[in-house]
Amino acid sequence: MLGRKFLCLMVILAASCSGSRQLADISRSRVDVDVSVPSYEEDEDTDTAVAGKTAAEKDDGPSIMNAVKDLETGEMVAVDVINASKVVARFRNVAERAGKVTVEFDVTVPSALVSSRWQLRIFPEMAVGEDSLRLDPVLVTGAGYRSQQMRGYERYKEFVSSIIRDSSGFVMVRPLEIFIERNYPGIYAMKNDTSVISDPEAASIFGVTRSEVLRHYTRDGLVRRNRKKEEKSEMMLEKLTGGLTGWVRLDTVMTSGGEVCYRYTQTVESRPGLKKIPVTISGGIYEDGRLVYSLPGRSRIDFYVSSLSTLADLSPHYRSVVVERNVYDYTNAVLDFGKGSADLDTLVAANAAELARIRGNMESMLGMNDYEADSVVVTASCSLEGSYRYNSSLAGRRAETVMKLLSESTGNGSAGILRSASIPENWKLFAAIVANDPSVSSASRNRILSLPYQQSPDSSETVLHGLPEYRYLREKIYPRLRTVRLDFYLHRKNMARDTVYTSELDSVYMKGVEALTSLDYSKAVEILGKYRDYNSALAYLSSGYDSKALEILDGLGDLSARALYLKALALSRLGREDEASEIYDKCVGLDPSMLHRGRLDPEIQMFTLKYE
């Protein structure tokens, strides 16, 4: 018996020494994980994942595995092992489409970093503009490391069993509640470090499902007695998971040593001006949950981003406008005259503020260098209350009062241009208000709108006295009819003709171009679509409306090299490759630089091969 124990101890010590020597060799050589651009064409269809998560190294080259999503479990698994002679590339051109960029790269793990006792945690990182993004990690887990994890979970199962004496009489145990609440959905807490354990497996380990936890949630009387076990549970889970949080892209168990290459695909949101996306690798080797070696992270690749938005025509776009010699503007003022009086108390705050406002408007209009004032007409109006004859006199006197105040404040600048006018009773405004006032009944509204106020204003006003809404009309609407209006009549200086046709920068169109270059394609289509020109075709093409873009391009007549390029791209997307190739040849004939551009866009790349 003693001899057997001694032999086991010697084996453990030998393995430990071997592991230490291996780590020393790795540290001395600064062994690193490599990141590179894929260098082969895929023939396999990887839409559906195949079963199996264990990769074994073959003798005739590295194993290249795609990480794809299993349609049943939702997990990322390793599939499509392809033997290949690896040619390392450090950059690739990628295309932005619909505001997104998809990059694909290989993460190559040398055999020196693979051991049964270790777990290699690889964190791809990319810089997108000013942002640094750490992507989902890739884990290479040794079979021995995984076995040790599983033994740890068995210990946890025993611990839970010490709390849950009888699953049929299950009560709300705090440690398990915390465990499930914090980590469900997913694969409980174990997804953090070992996604090889599926949800059903986790349920079988714990002997209880989440639904059972919820059914018995309210029975928590026994939690207090397990307070110390709660703390022990948290510590145990932390030890088992190794503190790794978040989603794991791929966790593959290695049953034998050897170089492995993982195919990694990531889609990110693009942004204006994005030219390059560098990708680097960080991570390290873990043994018993402890970091024992940090990757140097020397390897880097760059993805150069091409966007259709860079083909936008940034030239100023003008629109035709008709310039009239005569210019008109107006402003309304609400002044509180005394009842039945033309006197205006300028010490009243509201009157003083309103007079200051219209004086400012008048000074601005008269001070414009490009315009000359012909006249400023001050028109006062009264409500319907009282006789038409009296209101006519009152409105005229009120207009004279305002005109005098304005003349005094503006000095000689307004001499000879101020005019007064009056509207004795503002029936038109009254009718417009009543027509849209819900407080006036339909019958009263119809009666008011049918009154012959132009021919008989006084008798029409008498009819209003008999309406049920008369008090409302007199108190709420009549005050709104007592207004003063200033009409400004000006003309453009040094302009002899009444009408001139000219052009000005189309600010709306330029906002559409800005949206296009900012990758806001839906807004670009909304603004530019109606113009049916080159940029509108580009906006439709960038939004995926290929047929609409082609329709616009076909209607433009003679096309520039860039317009021909867009047409070739649209035809290629629509599956009309022969036509697209012919159009692209015309494009390159007009502008040879479009040959380089064609190598950047996947829809056109095939047509550039003939020029190699």
Residue 556 belongs to some domain of the structure: yes
SS3 state of residue 329: strand
- CA gap 141, 244 in Å, rounded: 14
Q: What's the pLDDT score for residue 495?
A: 77
Residue pair 598/608 in contact by the 8 Å Cβ criterion: yes
> Which tokens is 330 given?
């107006």
Same domain, 413 and 463: yes
pLDDT band at 534 (very low <50, low <70, confident <90, very high): very high
Residue pair 433/477 in contact by the 8 Å Cβ criterion: yes
Is the pLDDT assigned to residue 11 strictly greater than 70?
A: no
The strand pairing partners of 421, in sequence order, are: 379
Q: Residues 72, 76, 79, CA angle at the centre, nearest 5°?
A: 95
Same domain, 482 and 572: no
Q: What is the CATH number of the domain that holds 471?
A: 3.30.1330.60
Mean pLDDT of 198-213: 44
Q: What's the pLDDT score for residue 341?
A: 86
Respond yes or no on whether the N-terminal peptide bond of residue 185 is cis (omega within 30° of 0). yes
Number of domains in the chain: 4
Same domain, 458 and 331: yes
The strand pairing partners of 96, in sequence order, are: 101, 307
**Residues 71-110 pLDDT 10s:** 444 444 444 333 333 445 678 888 888 888 898 888 888 8
- CA gap 371, 328 in Å, rounded: 11
Residue 314 belongs to some domain of the structure: no
Is the pLDDT assigned to residue 220 strictly greater than 50?
A: no
Q: What's the pLDDT score for residue 523?
A: 93
Domain end position, chosen among 444, 463, 492: 492
Same domain, 457 and 440: yes
Sequence-distant (≥ 6) Cβ neighbours of residue 227 within 8 angstroms? 174
- CA gap 283, 556 in Å, rounded: 55
End-to-end CA distance of the chain: 76
Which tops the pLDDT comparison, 573 or 26? 573
Mean pLDDT of 316-341: 84
Q: What is the CATH number of the domain that holds 598?
A: 1.25.40.10
Same domain, 64 and 106: yes
Sequence-distant (≥ 6) Cβ neighbours of residue 29 within 8 angstroms? 112
Q: What's the pLDDT score for residue 506?
A: 92
* pTM assigned to the model: 0.54
The identity of residue 343, as a single letter, is D
Residue pair 499/324 in contact by the 8 Å Cβ criterion: yes
- Range of 531's domain? 507-611
Same domain, 263 and 288: yes
SS3 state of residue 425: strand
**Across 154-168, 214-228, 357-371, 377-391, least confident range:** 214-228
